[in-house]
Amino acid sequence: MASNDNGGGQGRLDSFGARGQLDVGGTAYEIHRLAAVDGADRLPYSLKILLENLLRTEDGANVTADDIRALAGWEAEAEPSKEIQFTPARVIMQDFTGVPAVVDLATMREAVRDLGGDPASINPLSPAELVIDHSVIADVFGAPDSFARNVEIEYERNVERYQFLRWGQGAFDDFRVVPPGTGIVHQVNIEHLARVVFERDVDGVTQAYPDTCVGTDSHTTMVNGLGVVGWGVGGIEAEAAMLGQPISMLIPRVVGFKLSGELPAGATATDLVLTITEMLRKHGVVGKFVEFYGPGVGAVPLANRATIGNMSPEYGSTIAVFPIDDETVRYLQLTGRSAEQVALVEAYAKEQGLWHDPSREPDYSEYLELDLASVVPSIAGPKRPQDRVSVSAAKQAFRTVLGDYVGDAQPVEERGYDEADAESFPASDSPSYTGSNGADAPRTFESAAASGNGRPSSPTRITLADGTECEVDHGAVVIAAITSCTNTSNPSVMVGAALLAKKAVEKGLTSKPWVKTTLAPGSKVVMDYYERAGLTPFLDKLGFNLVGYGCTTCIGNSGPLIPEVSQAVNDADLAVVSVLSGNRNFEGRINPDIKMNYLASPPLVVAYALAGSMDVDLVNDPLGQDSVGNDVFLADIWPSEKEIEDVVAGALAAEMFTRDYADVFAGDERWQNLPTPQGDLFAWDADSTYVRKPPYFEGMPASPAPVSDITGARVLAKLGDSVTTDHISPAGSIKRDSPAGAYLLEHGVEPRSFNSYGSRRGNHEVMIRGTFANIRLRNQLAPGTEGGLTRDFTAGGEVATIYDASIHYQAAGTPLVVLAGKEYGSGSSRDWAAKGTALLGVKAVLAESYERIHRSNLIGMGVLPLQYAPGESAESLGLTGEETFDIVGIEELNSARTPREVTVRADGKEFRAVVRIDTPGEADYFRHGGIMQYVLRSLLSR
pLDDT given for residue 446 in this prediction: 87
How much is the pLDDT for 96? 83
828 band by pLDDT with thresholds 50, 70 and 90: low
CB 791 within 8 A of CB 783: no
Cβ neighbour number for residue 266 with a 10 Å cutoff: 16
Q: How many residues does the chain have?
A: 942
Q: Please enumerate in sequence order all residues whose Cβ is within 8 A of that of 683, keeping only pairs 6 or more positions apart, or say none.
A: 677
Average pLDDT, integer, range 380-407: 92
Mean pLDDT of 620-635: 94
> Alpha helix locations (H) across 335-384?
339-351
Each residue's pLDDT tens digit, 510-552: 999 999 999 999 999 999 999 999 999 999 999 999 999 999 9
Q: What is the mean pLDDT of residues 798-810?
A: 97
Looking at residue 320, its pLDDT comes to 98
For the chain, the maximum distance between any two Cα atoms, rounded to a whole number of angstroms, is: 84
Q: Which helix (H) or strand (E) holds 210?
A: strand 205-210
> Between 120 and 510, whose confidence is greater?
510
More confident residue, 240 or 351: 351
Q: What is the pLDDT of residue 101?
A: 87
Q: How confident is the model at residue 7 (pLDDT cuts 50, 70, 90)?
A: low
Query: For residue range 141-156, what is the model confidence (pLDDT) as tens digits?
Result: 999 999 999 999 999 8
Torsion angle of the four alpha carbons 295, 299, 301, 305, in this order, in degrees rounded to the nearest 10: -40
Average pLDDT (395-418) is 66
Asked if the model's pLDDT at residue 407 lies above 80, the reply is no
pLDDT at 909 over 70: yes
pLDDT digits (tens, 9 = 90+) for 548-578: 999 999 888 899 999 999 999 999 999 999 9
Number of H helices, E strands in the chain: 31, 35
What does the pLDDT average to over 108-115?
A: 92
pLDDT tens digits along 258-298:
999 999 999 999 999 999 999 999 999 988 999 999 999 99
Q: Is the pLDDT of residue 3 over 50?
A: no
DSSP 564-579: HHHHHHHHTT---EEE
pLDDT single digits (tens) 464-496: 999 999 999 999 999 999 998 989 989 999 999
pLDDT over 90, % of the chain: 75
Task: State residue 829's pLDDT score.
Answer: 56
pLDDT at 239 over 60: yes
Q: What pLDDT, on a 0 to 100 scale, did the predictor assign at position 620?
A: 95
Q: Which amino acid is it at 384?
A: R
Greater model confidence, 400 or 420: 400
Task: Categorize the per-residue pLDDT at 592 as very low, low, confident or very high, splitting at 50, 70 and 90.
Answer: confident
Characterize the bridge pairing of strands 901-906 and 516-519: unpaired
- Judged against a pLDDT cut of 90, whether residue 389 lies above it is answered with yes
Residues 243 and 3: beta-carbon distance below 8 Å:
yes
Average pLDDT over residues 431-438: 23
What is the distance between the alpha carbons of residues 613 and 89, in angstroms, rounded to a whole number? 47
Instruction: Using the predicted structure, report yes or no on whether residue 2 has a pLDDT greater than 70.
Output: no
Q: Kindly state the percentage of the chain with pLDDT values over 70.
A: 94
CA dist 618 and 603 (Å) reads 12
- Choice between 843 and 62, residue whose per-residue pLDDT is larger: 843
733: pLDDT strictly greater than 60? yes
pLDDT at 452: 74
Instruction: Output the pTM of the full model.
Output: 0.84
**End-to-end Cα distance, the chain:** 10
Residue-level pLDDT at 408: 52
